[in-house]
Amino acid sequence: MAVSVAPNPVTEAGRAEAAEYDAILLASFGGPEGQDDVLPFLRNVTRGRGIPDERLEAVSHHYRAFGGISPINAQNRALKAALEAELAAQSIDLPVYWGNRNWDPYIPQTLQDIYDAGHRKVLMLTTSVYSCYSSCRQYREDIGVALTETGLAGRLRVDKVRQYFDHPGFVAPFVEGTSAGLKTVREALGAADGSRDSEIRVLFSTHSIPTRDAEAAGRSEGEPREFEGGSAYVAQHLANARAIMAAVAPHVAWDLVYQSRSGAPHIPWLEPDINDHLDAIAAGGEGRQAVKGTVIVPLGFVSDHMEVVWDLDTEALDKCRELGIEAVRVPTPGVHREFVAGLVKLISERTVDRNLAQRPHATDLGPWYDVCRPGCCENFRGAKPVIAEAGTGESIVLGATHDAYPDATAERQGTSAPGTEA
């Protein structure tokens, strides 16, 4: 593949010395584990977010069809175990705790458990990799609120691993899966030699979000940065898709599409929706051949949770069948060996090998920031305490001071030393 991983110069002695954090928090979305959990879970997710009842009703059916059980918690248990094994294999002595935003084990309880076990400095790793309110700031706020509500603010410090959309460990499994998926689709079209590639389209699918949230993603006061597609969220996906296609099949056409839209119909969300797009490409037009085969890449997600197994495997693949399109859905990173090893590298770049110049990144957009700039992924419903934000009174109150990051641009260029962040 086209992406490369920087060499790791760390010695065993260096590891022990540099360990500044004393626990890892694996933070995720959470999901229901039985029919009785479904509605309470959906109420947790949508609290104050104005999701129409019809949408909640529809989504509850997705969960009900799976016995009320989301696959996400089992996947996170497996990820936690894999992470522990890889940390041990690399002699990094940090316990891993797991906490969710929307279901048990809830983040506030996990923070309390971490504190009660005697830990004081936590590094959070989330199962969401791009920059937007839902996948970055909302996690930072949930920690801020939890620290406040548990009374742990100022006593327990929580920092956060950078958004890692273009870490080679996240990208590599998609390269592998897209390559395998393309082979399968070519064979299904009776053209293993690639002679019908002009009838194949690779669709990179991610979660739609409100356009307003997209535009606020990755922004900062004082650094108005222009992003391809109008936002960091879109630009990050485009950059990843391009890197994957460059490694797999540069001549095959591809598109970035969106799924799982919710919210009121009059509010603009990112488009096109994957199912609408399938209709359009099956019909051809605009000088393009009608599409007969597609490889669906769930680029926005780290595991095969409900948004993947329902919205893609059920709805989008049904749509392909209906349209006579040969289709394959590529696996998410899950517990892929390279993904897990990549997560440990993301931890070790904050603990034992803090060389900013060597941070791996598969696109020109990265490596992304450790600490968000003020105003990044603004919460339009009102300010909340946050962690991992440069220069906010709140983060200092919460024990996550970032004096070493007076401005994240300097940090990005390697002119301030993360080793001094405490």
Residues flagged as binding site: 70, 139, 207, 307
Contact track, ligand HT9, 98-117, x by CB under 6 A: --------------------
Cα 400 to chain center, whole Å?
22
> Does residue 339 belong to the site contacting ligand HT9 (CB under 6 A)?
no
Query: Contact 133/211 with Cβ under 8 angstroms?
Result: no
Residues 117-136 that bind ligand HT9 (CB under 6 A): 127-128, 132, 134-135
| Residues near ligand HT9 (CB under 6 A), total | 27
> How buried is 150 (Cβ within 10 angstroms: 0-12 exposed, 13-18 middle, 19+ buried)?
middle
Number of neighbours of residue 270 by Cβ within 10 angstroms: 25
> Does residue 70 belong to the site contacting ligand HT9 (CB under 6 A)?
yes
Spatial CA neighbour of 243 closest among 124, 401, 365: 365
What the block records as the tokens of 30 is: 């959470």
Terminal-to-terminal C-alpha distance of the chain = 37
Span near ligand HT9 by CB under 6 A; candidates 192-200, 223-231, 302-310, 369-377: 302-310
Report the residue number, 94 or 386, with the smaller CB distance to ligand HT9. 386
Span near ligand HT9 by CB under 6 A; candidates 5-13, 160-168, 298-306, 339-347: 298-306
Spatial CA neighbour of 422 closest among 122, 15, 114, 161: 122
Q: What are phi and psi of 410, to 5 degrees?
A: -65, -40
Please give the DSSP secondary-structure letter assigned to residue 136.
Answer: I
Contact track, ligand HT9, 194-233, x by CB under 6 A: -------------x-x------------------------
Q: How far is the CB of 180 from ligand HT9 (least distance, A)?
A: 23
Number of neighbours of residue 75 by Cβ within 10 angstroms: 20
Span near ligand HT9 by CB under 6 A; candidates 194-202, 249-257, 301-309, 368-376: 301-309
> Does residue 31 belong to the site contacting ligand HT9 (CB under 6 A)?
yes
Cα gap 120→58, rounded to integer Å? 42
Q: Note the residues at the interface with ligand HT9 (CB under 6 A).
A: 29, 31, 42, 45-46, 49, 51, 55, 59, 70-72, 127-128, 132, 134-135, 207, 209, 260, 262-263, 300-301, 305-307
